[in-house]
Amino acid sequence: MDVRGEPRWSRWSLVAVCAVAAVLYGWAPGSLGYGNSYYAAAVRSMGVSWSNFFFGAFDPLGVATVDKPPGALWVQALSARVFGYHGWALILPQVVEGVLAVVVLHRAVLRWAGPVAASVAAVVLALTPITVAVNRNDNPDTLLVLTLVCAAYAVTRAVREDRARWLVAGGVFVGLAFTVKMLQAWVVAPALLGSWLVAGVSWRRVRALAVAGAAMVVTSLAWVVAVEVWPGARPYVGGSRDGGAWDLVVGYNGFGRLLGTRDGAGTGLGNAGPSMGGDPGFGRLFNDQVAGQISWLLPFCVVGAVAAAVTLAARRGEAARSGEVAGWVVWGGWLVSCWAVFGFAEGIFHPYYTTQLAPAVAAVAGAGAVAMWRLYRRPGGWAWALLPVAVCGSALWALVVVRRTPDWLPWLAPSVGVAGVLGVVGLLVGRLWGRPGRVLAVVFSVVAVLLAPAAWSVAEPLEGPGGTGGVNPAAGPETGSGGGARSRGPRGGGPGGGPNRGRMNGGGLSTWGVATGTLTDGQRRVLEYVTARRDGARILLATLSASGAAPYIIATGGDVVAMGGYNATDQAVGLDELKRLVAAGDLRFVQLSGFTGQGADADPRLAWIEANCSPVALEGVTDLRRCDALDVRG
């Protein structure tokens, strides 16, 4: 539609939804700590030098990067430079980006399907549980969603206005999303760019599409190419097998995610990956770990898409010329492609990845609701029944999900059930009674569809961070599944006990990766001990994995290095380099704490440390080793 004719209520509804979103995302920021300790440590290290900033270095010495491109971390690091290094300074950009995504989605859907659909879409996105959880964390997915929604907005304008420059802008935004999470951004690219040809095929449009595709590729690979051709010394690229950015693209963050390949170092969490979100398959989005985060409106979206197909079939040519079909290609294609990839990916999968689905679910739900309402009001035929079917299906699915945790908010299931019955019955009766009955039916239907996800979303700011700590944020009640639900327990600054290979120290999954900015008593003793005996060593302390190093970096900004990257499988400091550093006096202390990943028991670095480095006796600490050059035996 022409946005100049947007009704005033539409603008005010957007303001109200943004206010709600801002409260949900930014409530009690002090309770969030520093979010994911892995990224929080990197942000502090990136403030040490512009070189660290560009590469996204995890440690202050710039030995290794995080296992993602630094796009999202650039924003957080700039925020920390402006406001100082505080937990809220890392979360604030996430809150702003989350609210901006709601705004941009509303404007995109407004141009495609009108003000009612846009308002519904904004509400649904703001109240998506996993989106609330992610936007209260420092994981990169918040910026991924914003850049992709901006790409969809640009493509929508390109189609509606027949302007190729907007299509090119869409390609650039997808490329920017690539600098946040690499190939995950490209999942939606075929739907976004392909919609341009759905609106019409000509040589001019094909050329414009080629230019937009080239812009996407160039923007996507700019950082990767810069890293690969960097003339001087640079950090080891975390997550890769050879220290290069290209291997990270096609391996760990590429086909490794889809196919589950784990050949060699840098392949992530091993078998712990899929268990975070359940086994791959069509039903993954509906299992205990994931359903409460994203699946609530999927039945509604499916029926809404059917309603849209019925509506568009009756006015095929006109709909194509107006861009309606292209809009369904954008958002429907986005929904289907992400559903397929996240559902069937054999590699590492965390439930919070599904926040990328949220804008498409919201847009399809909004446009689908409008399509079903129009069919409902149309006299005769059978298509009017699609609306009560959609409400009934969504309410029933909500009851299934809610009943999985019956002790959490016991009033929720009866409320959803009653509202669902009244909504469906009201819609059926409304066909006979007219407008008064319809208004009440719509109110009850909205409650039936949105009450449960709203409760899940509100639980996040009220009850505090859920899921497996900062590593795998989630909203809603505890499901007991160990991966995609709230897991209550004490929050720690990070591991600090003895070596626990293949698992997390200090309380298990519920405390792993949550950065409080403080050190445990054991970590303070370690820090004081190694600082007093540093003797000019370039590296203050080395750990096997990032989870062991992150608490020290966050609390002090000290020269602590994670030799094995995120989970100790990287070769950021390989065995030969480890020997050289010890022999040269550049490294004296190693702590064997933190998550060490699958197969770490066979790591030759660990065997060498145990053979050549002497245990240090400290109260409450059993995993600190001193490595002296004179003691090295091979």
pLDDT digits 0-9 by tens, 13-40:
999 999 999 999 999 877 788 999 999 9
What are the tens digits of pLDDT across the range 110-119? 999 999 999 9
Q: What confidence score (pLDDT) does residue 599 get? A: 52
Comparing 594 with 284, the larger pLDDT belongs to 284
**Sheet (strand 589-591) strand order:** 560-562, 541-543, 589-591, 624-626, 614-615
Q: Which residues contact 380 (CB under 8 A, 6 or more apart)?
A: none
pLDDT band at 479 (very low <50, low <70, confident <90, very high): low
Q: What confidence score (pLDDT) does residue 432 get? A: 76
pLDDT band at 567 (very low <50, low <70, confident <90, very high): confident
What are the tens digits of pLDDT across the range 462-477? 876 665 556 789 999 8
Would you say residue 422 has pLDDT above 80? yes
What average pLDDT does the chain have? 88
Would you say residue 594 has pLDDT above 70? no
CA distance 107 to 1: 11
Would you say residue 494 has pLDDT above 90? no
Q: What confidence score (pLDDT) does residue 258 get? A: 78
Is residue 382 one of the residues assigned to a domain?
no
Q: What confidence score (pLDDT) does residue 404 get? A: 95
Q: What confidence score (pLDDT) does residue 164 get? A: 95
Would you say residue 560 has pLDDT above 80? yes
Is residue 560 one of the residues assigned to a domain?
yes
Is residue 615 one of the residues assigned to a domain?
yes
Mean pLDDT of the 371-375 span = 95
Q: What confidence score (pLDDT) does residue 468 get? A: 53
Q: What is the pTM of this model?
A: 0.92
Beta bridge partners of 65: 57
For 563, the domain range is: 521-631
CA dist 230 → 66, 553, 565 (Å): 17, 26, 21
DSSP state of 250: H
Reduce the DSSP state of residue 555 to 3 states and report it.
helix
Mean pLDDT of the 500-522 span = 54
Is residue 335 one of the residues assigned to a domain?
no
Q: Which residues contact 269 (CB under 8 A, 6 or more apart)?
A: 276, 348, 567, 597, 598
Q: What confidence score (pLDDT) does residue 251 get? A: 86
Would you say residue 534 has pLDDT above 70? yes
Count of domains forming the chain: 1
Is residue 288 one of the residues assigned to a domain?
no
